[in-house]
Amino acid sequence: MYNHIFNSKSKTITSAAGILAAAALISGLLGLFRDRLLAGSFGAGDELDVYYAAFRIPDFISFVLIMGAISAAIIPIFSEYLLRSHEQAWRFFSNLVNLFFISLIIISGILIIFVPQILSIIAPGFIGDKKDAAVLLTRIMFLSPILLGISNIISGILRVFKRFLVTSLAPIMYNLGIIFGIMFFVPLMGLKGLAWGVVFGAFLHFFVQIPILLKVGFRPKKVLNFSEPGFLRAVKLTIPRAIGLAAGQINLIVITAIGSTLTAGSVAVFSLANNLQKLPITLIAISFSTAAFPFLALYFSKKDKEKLIQEFSSVFRQILFLIVPVSILIFILRAQIVRVILGTGKFGWADTQLTAACLGIFSFAIFAYALVLLISKTFYAFQNTKIPALVTLFTVGLNIVLCYFFVWALSFENAFQRFLISFLDIQGIKENSVIGLPLALAVSGIFQISLLLVLLYKKIGDFRIKEIFESCIKILASSVLLGFACYFVRQYIAEFVDMQTFLGIFSQAALASIAGVIVFIASAFALKSPEIKALKTVISRKINGD
């Protein structure tokens, strides 16, 4: 039964994206449940600050050393080997896994020793017991990059074979492991139970994919060859991507460092808001860009530029069609979203207001970070990892400068501070400098997508810009109508429900969202948006079993 279900292949980008999106929704909902458990159990205070700060270093290793290899090297190179010989492809994969596994153990072991010194840099505001707790959690969590690293390499290979279903199940298992840790390890072990939950989740992420990996033909091989041509190419392609990812993770580390010097709970508030804004990006942008990448890489290998541009334009417009209305809903219903998802236990009203303000700022740049993923993967399909890496480095530098500037500008009364406080409706919050962190990310994200689009045009020429522009006009028009409908229904419903209860807030948010979505869909049909027609066709095929 397991093999029959999870060994199924996805034949198109849209169907693959649909599978990934459905799994991302489940994983995202579990992530929200995880954050609700964390917020209710600990509140936005020292303990959650410790957890999120401790998470940064192992997360840095996972993203830089492994995610870079998958995105930039494994899929294109493995695809080329596979066209020539399955035996050569599997030998390349075995060699890569063995070398990365040994490297991860060595790197993690060395960094475990220097955790106290590293934490002094990334969380300078942590002292005494707070720092000691962060050191302990970080050292435990260093087991997770080893498991996640190998597991993510496996995911990349399975996507080449179009086994998107099982790869999409892995993040679900990861979140289930963390939730298990919160519910069962924390009562037994205290705060360090959170760290063991992360490790358990990483193990489940790895374990669930092994049967299908064996099914598609993998057999372990005793090979360790640093001079193997495929491995050397993988390293060459990985280094620029790894630098870009390192810059992105350093970005979060700098934000954590700045947040650790602000009022207690600032790191937690930023991290919780960041997790909320990541849900639509994961659900929509990562699903589509991940599904598109193997297809784009294949078209590049076949030198079919017209087909590549056609698919890129289509996916670009589909991401915008889904992400823009969601972003508007998030901004209008930001307080309701935070209260419904996180408003429990020790998570108070002041925590809600600050988290909602951060989420509201994030909503203005969700579209940018969503499209950055697709454009970066398009460059990777060309086996060009340098351009995205350089753009990321420049963007990170800009963001760090903006972080310090905005936090400083919000630390004393001035016109800029008064405008933001009024715009985000947080007049009762005295310590509000933390909102400067998402504001810096939003501004730098919009800059990043703008620069990438210019460089993509220089690389491949016209990528159907007129077609994209016409779709954008229709999407924006429909989204504005959605915004008005959502706002007026939100205000109207507030007169009839008890806004002091979970049910009242949930009802208000749900009805306002439904009204907005109905108006958006009706408007898209009226404007004859091609994206709504494409989605309708896909749904019809699924219903008919095609």
Residue 6: count of CB within 10 angstroms of its CB:
20
Same domain as 531, residue 417 = no
CB 77 within 8 A of CB 230: yes
Same domain as 282, residue 362 = yes
Q: Which of 433, 463, 493 is a domain's end point?
A: 463
Same domain as 483, residue 423 = no
Residues in the chain: 546
pLDDT score at 254: 81
Same domain as 178, residue 39 = yes
> How far is 89 from 77, CA to CA, in rounded Å?
9
Same domain as 192, residue 335 = yes
Tell me the CA distances in angstroms from 345 to 103, 274, 348, 349, 499, one per residue in order.
42, 21, 8, 11, 17
List alpha helices for 303-348, DSSP H. Answer: 305-332, 334-342
End-to-end CA distance of the chain: 22
> How far is 5 from 163, CA to CA, in rounded Å?
10
Same domain as 289, residue 167 = yes
pLDDT score at 177: 93
Same domain as 146, residue 290 = yes
Name the residue range of residue 524's domain: 464-546
> How far is 33 from 39, CA to CA, in rounded Å?
10
Torsion region of 222: left, alpha or beta (phi above 0 gives left; psi -120 to 50 gives alpha): beta
Q: Which of 463, 478, 496 is a domain's end point?
A: 463
Same domain as 511, residue 378 = no
Look at residues 434, 161, 397, 155 and name the one whose alpha carbon lies nearest to residue 274: 434
Note down pLDDT in tens along the chain; length 546 residues: 445 445 555 555 556 666 766 777 787 788 888 888 887 777 767 788 888 888 877 877 776 665 555 555 677 788 788 888 888 888 888 888 888 888 888 988 898 999 888 888 878 878 888 888 889 999 999 888 888 888 888 888 887 787 777 887 888 899 899 999 989 998 888 888 999 999 999 999 999 989 888 888 888 888 888 888 877 887 777 776 677 667 767 777 788 888 877 777 787 888 888 888 888 887 787 777 777 777 777 777 677 777 878 888 888 888 889 999 999 999 999 989 988 888 776 777 788 888 899 999 999 999 998 898 888 888 877 777 788 888 888 888 899 899 999 989 888 888 988 898 888 888 777 778 888 899 999 999 999 999 999 998 888 777 788 888 888 899 999 999 999 999 999 999 988 888 778 888 889 999 999 999 999 999 988 888 877 766 665 555 444 544
Same domain as 457, residue 510 = no
Same domain as 25, residue 8 = yes
pLDDT score at 545: 47
What is the number of structural domains in the chain?
2
Q: Which of 463, 482, 516 is a domain's end point?
A: 463
Same domain as 444, residue 516 = no
Tell me the CA distances in angstroms from 533 to 19, 237, 266, 527, one per residue in order.
19, 38, 44, 11
Tell me the CA distances in angstroms from 318 to 250, 471, 476, 481, 530, one per residue in order.
31, 9, 13, 19, 9
pLDDT score at 324: 93
pLDDT score at 128: 84
pLDDT score at 543: 45
> How far is 96 from 66, CA to CA, in rounded Å?
11
Tell me the CA distances in angstroms from 359 to 201, 328, 363, one per residue in order.
26, 11, 6
CB 75 within 8 A of CB 301: no
pLDDT score at 456: 86
Same domain as 535, residue 408 = no
